[in-house]
Structure 1
Amino acid sequence: MIKSILIVGLGSCAGGILRYLVSLALPPRGSGFPTATFIVNIAGCLLIGLLYGLFSKYSETPSALCLLLTTGLCGGFTTFSTFSNEAVTMLQGGNIQMFLLYVIGSVICGILATLGGYVLVR
């Protein structure tokens, strides 16, 4: 159990650092659309789809590697809390169109990216 916790923590640390680097590379623009969070979350969905596709294809993948890359890296890289906060901020600001675009677009693109990643490696 302790080993698994440390493995997830290591992956989460790396994922969080990667997310921070993406936010530095894609600072907020005047449009109000949270581009960095959107890209991070969709890229994370694609990556987890690819990983689960590979892990199902190669069933001998060590469980520690699965934990490191999915729960750890992808979990630390993507950010549901920031997504939710940005969506609430849009609502509070009265930007209903941006809110709908962001929420619906994120969910649909995320599911399609996950499915696409899975199908790509299967």
Structure 2
Amino acid sequence: MVKNILAVFIGGAIGTLLRYAITVSTVEIAFPVGTLFVNLVGSFVLGTFTGWMMRREGKEYIKVGFGTGLCGGFTTMSTLAADAFMLEAQSTIFITTIYLFSSVVGGLLFAFLGLLLGHSFSKKHLASGLKR
């Protein structure tokens, strides 16, 4: 249990710092591209990791440290919601709708593609392990 908590703590710190760095580097852009980027990339990475781990036995602290900690700290639903409200106040409902659609549908699509990729990696890994 202590390993899990420590792994989530460390992963969350790393994910949050990465998100912060991306947010700071894109703050000058009117469209919330930083939030969109971290959520799409985070969905893809978590999907890939999940697909890979579904076919292997892994240590629980690695699963929660990477999934809940790193990916959970990296992605952000609350910032997506806040950005949508600010975007709507500063722009049009059309632009806001594009942002929300891109975030939600894009996140699901990227997670699915990552899951497929993770399954593919896992199959190759299992096959190479059987040949030895």
TM-score by length of 1: 0.90
1:42 matched to which residue of 2?
40
Paired AA for residue 54 in structure 1: W
Q: How does 1:1-122 map to 2 (within 5 A)?
A: 1-29=1-29, 32-58=30-56, 60-93=57-90, 95-122=92-119
Q: 1:31-73 deviations in whole A, cap 9, x for unaligned?
A: x310111001000000000000110121x11111000000000
Paired AA for residue 26 in structure 2: L
TM-score by length of 2: 0.83
**Is this contact kept in 2: 1:15–1:77, CA < 8 A?**
yes
When structure 1 is superposed on structure 2, of 104-113 and 86-95 the one drifting more is 86-95
Secondary structure at the aligned position of 1:57 is classed as coil
- Shift in Å, 1:7: 1.8
Paired AA for residue 48 in structure 2: L
Q: Distance in 2 between matches of 1:28 and 1:101?
A: 20
**Is this contact kept in 1: 2:50–2:118, CA < 8 A?**
no
Aligned length: 119
Identity of aligned residues (%): 33
- Shift in Å, 1:94: 5.4
Q: Distance in 2 between matches of 1:72 and 1:94?
A: 34
**Is this contact kept in 2: 1:28–1:34, CA < 8 A?**
no
Q: For the aligned residues, what is the CA RMSD?
A: 1.4
Runs of 4+ in structure 1 deviating by more than 4 angstroms, as ranges, are none
